[in-house]
Amino acid sequence: MLAVVCPGQGSQTPGMLVPWLELPAVREQLEEFSTRSGIDLVAHGTESDADTIRDTSVAQPLIVASSLIALRAIVGDATQTTQSVAVTAGHSVGEFAAAAVAGVVEDASAVDLVSHRARFMAEAAAATPTGMSAVVGGVAEEVLAAIEAAGLTPANVNAAGQIVAAGSLEGLETLAQNAPARARVMPLKVAGAFHTHYMNGAFERFSPVAADWAANDPQIALLSNRDGKAFTSGTHGHGTAREVLNALANQIISPVRWDLCQEELKALGVTGILELAPGGVLTGIAKRSLPDIERFAVKSAGDVEEARAFVAAHGTGN
């Protein structure tokens, strides 16, 4: 049983799309994505430096585009994806790529939609100096208590021993100076306190955009960052387009519960997790949290053939 997972912001690296452009049709895909989003993803994926692609307004569409290029090169078109993939999920901005995997939006539409989110979040982050820090290790209850004591929010609960705190720079400094026992506090290179009330402005601007977006009901199970569960009110058991779009909007100000997504993958009986490009982070988390499930991270175009074999081994019907 195959799960496809899509990475979030911070996974991008300079030049990461260079090898992908050697594959057939990829340049045309990227040019379409660029036209729809108004962002030169070819240039940002091949020439832009680390500081440029760290910009939220660039990073988010670039990551979603990378994941979807990898998806089509490895799994194939929408029909082939439905035939091979049993469940999908994405971490934060990766949930937009996962929505395309599930057939809620077309690939170019996903990149277009996320470009609005990215712009609104970048502007909200610029309005008030905030940030995020990863708290690695420690006892979960003590970590959460320390985050609350510092006036911060647990924005990402990725797994046992990995929680991301977000909020004011003063609060993050307080947390660093009062780190929980047996835990390390590591500042993250992000523009602001994502998935917190500091993003209310972005949420208010993005919600009407998402509400009017053309979309379809998911064709395969799509797990929500909210609680790890698949959208369930649709007639085919995977929810409705409106539910998904509403969740994508609310995710801007809500914590990412990747720990619950992982629990659901295990409960569903997934045997293989394929992490799309730029892969590595989510399979790294799964290595610790889901050690009995096989994993494959797509890091470059050189991984395509091996990834296809992974899909064949774990795809629907195997």
> pLDDT, tens digit, for every residue of 82-97?
999 999 999 999 999 9
Structural domains in the chain, CATH included, are 2-125+197-314 (3.40.366.10), 127-187 (3.30.70.250)
Quote the pLDDT of residue 233. 55
Paired with 163 in beta bridges are: 135, 157
pLDDT at 318 over 90: no
Predicted confidence (pLDDT) per residue in 249-297, tens digit: 999 999 999 999 999 999 999 999 999 999 999 999 999 999 999 999 9
Predicted confidence (pLDDT) per residue in 190-224, tens digit: 889 999 999 999 999 999 999 999 999 999 999 99
Quote the pLDDT of residue 238. 63
Quote the pLDDT of residue 235. 46
Catalytic residue among 66, 92, 109, 224: 92
Tokens at 47, concatenated: 């020439």
pLDDT at 140 over 80: yes
Quote the pLDDT of residue 153. 97
CA–CA dist 99, 218 (Å, integer): 8
112-126, 207-221, 225-239, 268-282 — which is least confidently predicted?
A: 225-239
Quote the pLDDT of residue 232. 65
CA–CA dist 277, 5 (Å, integer): 10
Predicted confidence (pLDDT) per residue in 27-46, tens digit: 999 999 999 999 999 999 99
Quote the pLDDT of residue 147. 97
**Across 158-170, average pLDDT:** 94
Q: Are 14 and 43 in contact (CB under 8 A)?
A: no
Percent of all residues in the chain with a pLDDT value above 70, rounded to a whole number? 97
CA–CA dist 201, 299 (Å, integer): 34
Averaged confidence pLDDT in the chain: 94
Quote the pLDDT of residue 11. 83
CA–CA dist 249, 84 (Å, integer): 28
Q: Are 298 and 317 in contact (CB under 8 A)?
A: no
Residue 96 has what DSSP assignment? Answer: H
pLDDT band for position 14 (cuts 50, 70, 90): very high
Quote the pLDDT of residue 192. 93
* pTM: predicted TM-score of the whole model, two decimal places: 0.94
Tokens at 278, concatenated: 């730029």
Catalytic residue among 44, 91, 116, 195: 195
**Extended strands (E) in 77-181:** 87-90, 130-137, 153-159, 162-168
Q: Is 195 a catalytic residue?
A: yes
Residues 6+ apart with CB under 8 A from 37: 61, 111, 112, 114, 115
Quote the pLDDT of residue 134. 95
pLDDT at 236 over 50: no
pLDDT band for position 237 (cuts 50, 70, 90): low
CA–CA dist 260, 225 (Å, integer): 8
Q: Is 236 a catalytic residue?
A: no
**Across 291-308, average pLDDT:** 97
Quote the pLDDT of residue 167. 98
Quote the pLDDT of residue 191. 87
Quote the pLDDT of residue 190. 85
Predicted confidence (pLDDT) per residue in 56-91, tens digit: 999 999 999 999 999 999 999 999 999 999 999 999
Cis check: omega of the bond before 278, within 30 degrees of 0: yes
